[in-house]
Chain A
């Protein structure tokens, strides 16, 4: 069933492209935004979703999250120990709420959306790192470089405390290397598998010796006497290397442009099609904003094959933005429990490879928690966009949520749900069309 949009001139193709761009690069439309973008056209939509780098007025109401340095773990069974663990868990919860609020509040959400992508790329989990301050520091780094130079990002991340600890680099010594960080830096973060040898991994581990992390702050120190200072042969080049120069070397490889391009394509465009061969050239200077702009202006958006499942956080934040529910206004414990049951709490990816994708998010077991989240949002949400005559609610809802079109199935369910706006909104948020970016 094709439900015509606000403008008789907006075709299904335009509705699809607009829906994809605003959901995938901006966490979904705020009320009225989708209809506005349809009126303004695809080019204006492309420019709008790319806006970033400005002082974001949306974030003005967000208080700074000043996390304390909680220091070393006290001996168990003491009052200090109880206070410490209470502070750790409170800080972890506050940190997640803080980031969800940023995603919700942003007037120019591309920066948060890219930070979210890079968090999955440099996937580090608080389950091991423990200290929220170290994770916040990493998060601020990812935000700072989210649309900047990937080389700069890689150089800073190579000496990021949370990442170093997560991948055991504090246990990496000249006489007894631990290859974990070296390998994943190449395989998952810069080059992709098979673009290096075991010899390269061993040498890269040596380049990464001498660094130690103060985990409670995330600060990384360097001890030259524990650093391997002889020349290293990596990927055919021989030079003295430390973490930063190793990162630069890896990023300079042609494989890096192809790999990063593919990772963005995979997460923003499609898990089933490949990026065009010309795309890595847009990343030749390693400027992330150039690559993102090329993606936004890609012709791929009209290809029906390029559908993606929204991850639980993307779905949740999108619903919050549409219903004007600031995530921190909800019960943080309930929200984060439901997200964890769906498999995605920010700052806690399941492993160094980052988040699952696609159909992995669509189990029957996950649907019961999706329902609970939707229920909590709808209960306090602004449902005024549904204040239209019953005969127009189905169409108004598609424009409100940024859905290109409802299927016959969902159209008929929504038509039967016009009794109360909350029942109607709940059904819409739980529809296959809203779970998926078609």
Chain B
């Protein structure tokens, strides 16, 4: 603080020049554009259009990682796995290279604003990038690649746990659960059990609900590796029994919504004694108004409802809250430095001082960058459907996955006019949702063609406008294989890979 005051006192005009340059460079502009795309995504902007808009944004060098994370995620949910992997990998490398403390960026943060820092990701981003990459590798039928990412996520979570002793920052139950799934698919049951236990530990520490798929995996795997007593304990704790089969398991992951965008809270006050305006801008999240929408899966064994394993809304807020003391301290130091500069210039020339004061107010901008396209919640479900058909329904879009084994899989708009009117009515009458969904599924399932899971690695293309309604997909598994399925509220596409 003393050094800063000295620096600004020595050459206040140069300092003001630097501030002017920063304002002209428009550092926060790309984040504003990305946040705008994220908000449009919430309002039914198609993912493909969002990708095009994101790609068109001119990004400053210090925000490349944020841009790559956003692009990678949208490419994943749109089914462009190879491009998603390239962007995620680049973001990961960039974030890793930025872990060292930057002298120039700190200096700039203490004097001008925080937007000059290179985006190195919040703890959640640093771990979740591995989780998203693991899912992408899985859907790309690369189990080994997914396994590598999960090991890297483990290292990252351990590093964060060591650095943040009193905090659970970056400890993601979703990533631990995903690790369990990957180990299970790789027939490494001991490692899978360890990961599931870790997911349980994280959720228990947070006092959050343990999703049924995790409960079931713990019960089944402890029994499978011979820990019968532990399995019985879990059965008692979760009030459920062993599942009938271990194979032919469909692991379903669902991304719902778009995370709330960070906002700026700016206060400006008039300091009468020295005739100077003081300004402080801090980042904040608005109140969490997100309402979870579950995904419904209808199998031969009944209806399964997806359950939240990770609330990104909560994690993003926790990350910000944990960093707020440092951000606030830096904002105060910056206000002090700017105040000192304006005061010095005021002494020399009142007009120059007033101009400098305006610049210091304009340059006071909060850093609002975060992984802005992330889902609000990550949900999971497990189906053990052995016989025939899986049907999905969710909030957005509608589609039918149909055709013979040799066909190209395409989505089809509803052919049934009565069904369309049922759905339209359904969007306005919340209480009747289940009944209507049930009727519709029965109607459609009669016409559904059987599809072999091994041929369903390609995704279904979008054909309908994304409006709030249910989507349906039919699958049939005749290969007795495990499968990983990804659903997203942003798109009609359903991503499947079998193992």
Whether chains A and B associate is: no
